[in-house]
Amino acid sequence: MEIIQNTAPHLRKPNASVVRMMRDVVIALSPLVVLAIINHGLTAVWIMLAAVISMALTEYVYYQIHDAIHRNREGMENLFDQLAKLKKELKEAEQQDQKDTLKKQIAEIKQAISEKKRESKREENKKFHPINKNFTLYNYSILVSGVIYGLTIPDATPLAIVIIGGVVAVILVKLIFGGMGQNIFNIAAFGRAFIALSFGGAVAVANHVDATSNATVLGELVAAPFSETGYSLTTMFTGIGLPGTIGEVSAMLILVGGIYLFLRKSFDVFIPLVYVGTVFVLAVATMLVTDAGWWFPLTHLLSGGLLFGAVYMATDPITAPVTRPGRIYFAFGLGLITYVIRLFGAYPEGVVFAILIMNIFVPAIDFPKWSHTQFNWKRAIIFTAVILLSITAVMIGAESLAGGLNG
């Protein structure tokens, strides 16, 4: 029996683990996946497979190369240095017997290296570890990114574009920053925005036989901000038969997933609440200054990727601030930017842009000089002032926009 020393605390919380958190997100996403397959059939299957496999395979290949470069020399730097030195001497040596001895030494060192490699491999096989420690399929992280990315894609998007988006997003956002936990942008949001901006028209919704038009709810809203869309609120809530991206359309199932994640405490419920709340309040404020009815805020709430983005993308802890006030500021910023892009911008992808823009501000929100874990009176007053100011600005903007459209 041997006594070993660990540092305190010697207890750990039993069911707190990254695997559990990520697996919960996958479970919460599964009804959406099922609905996507019911709504779109094989198209949805192909898009989702393309998204997940492109991301996972990119990461796998990257880490195979990465490990091949790094693992080979681990703990053997000494031997490699000696080998290089001897090889240099061999080149400079003139006499035959000197060359022979050097060659002999080189052979010995090479043998030592190969022996050590074999030994370390044996050691590695003994220890418990996931097949490739850095490859994050074991903790569902890459699966989550892939499924979320797949669900945000409209059904008529060519598979090649889906694959390009996945590969680029994983390499540019995740891998070159150092893998899991290091990315500064949400991977899925980046992939979605990347294909939207690069391929424009190709990322589109297909013609549906039973639908009156091929425009999404949000597409109609962006084209004509204050006229009612052709879909009833019930359709938008259930999401059955609604054109749009393959997985974002059902508010009902997203709420079910959100409630599951909340009960399992696998996300911070403040982010989606504040995010959706901000959009709703701004939409109500707009409603007050234009002659739109209650359908206007409700349509904004239920359409597009707002609920999906709020529940699954904005809550990605890696790209959110770490403190509760920070997360509330972050979610408020998301709501404001989403709404401004929707109302005044040309793209319907307000949610992914808002998420990417607010991701940039996360390090600023978390900056040690002013980040804080509790509200106090001063902060609350300033934050309230900012909220009121943004509501006023949106109201003024909306009024002039409505005036311009009418006149």
Report the interface residues with another protein, using CB under 8 A.
Answer: 1-18, 20-21, 128-130, 139, 179-182, 264-268, 317-318, 320-324, 327, 366, 368-369, 371, 373-374
- Residue 151 and residue 48 in contact, taking contact as beta carbons nearer than 8 Å: yes
Closer Cβ to another protein, 85 or 265, answer by number: 265
Q: Which amino acid, residue 214?
A: N
Closer Cβ to another protein, 49 or 269, answer by number: 269
Q: In 3-state terms, what secondary structure has residue 153?
A: coil
Closer Cβ to another protein, 2 or 123, answer by number: 2
Closer Cβ to another protein, 77 or 123, answer by number: 123
Residue keyed to tokens 């880490």: 63
Residue 122 CB-density burial (10 A; 0-12 exposed, 13-18 middle, 19+ buried): exposed
Closer Cβ to another protein, 235 or 323, answer by number: 323
Distance CA 143, CA 24 (A): 12
Distance CA 91, CA 87 (A): 6
Closer Cβ to another protein, 15 or 212, answer by number: 15
Please, how many CA atoms are within 13 Å of residue 149, restricted to the half-sphere of its CB? 38
Nearest distance from C-beta of residue 374 to another protein, angstroms? 6
Closer Cβ to another protein, 26 or 37, answer by number: 26
Return the bridge partners of 245, or none: 154
Residue 334 C-alpha from the chain's centroid: 15
35: its two tokens: 């609905």
Residue keyed to tokens 């992939």: 191
Nearest distance from C-beta of residue 137 to another protein, angstroms? 13
- Residue 344 and residue 396 in contact, taking contact as beta carbons nearer than 8 Å: no
Nearest distance from C-beta of residue 24 to another protein, angstroms? 9
Show Cβ contacts of residue 300 under 8 Å, excluding neighbours closer than 6 positions: 221, 279, 280, 283, 306, 339, 342
Closer Cβ to another protein, 195 or 365, answer by number: 365
Distance CA 257, CA 254 (A): 5
Nearest distance from C-beta of residue 122 to another protein, angstroms? 19
- Which ranges in 211-305 belong to alpha helices (H)? 217-223, 233-238, 251-263, 270-289, 295-302
Q: Which amino acid, residue 227?
A: S
Nearest distance from C-beta of residue 144 to another protein, angstroms? 11
Nearest distance from C-beta of residue 10 to another protein, angstroms? 4
CA-nearest of 158, 185, 187 to 357 is 185
Distance CA 266, CA 15 (A): 11
Closer Cβ to another protein, 182 or 207, answer by number: 182
- Residue 251 and residue 302 in contact, taking contact as beta carbons nearer than 8 Å: yes
Dihedral through CA 180, CA 184, CA 188, CA 190, nearest 10?
Answer: -140
Closer Cβ to another protein, 11 or 68, answer by number: 11
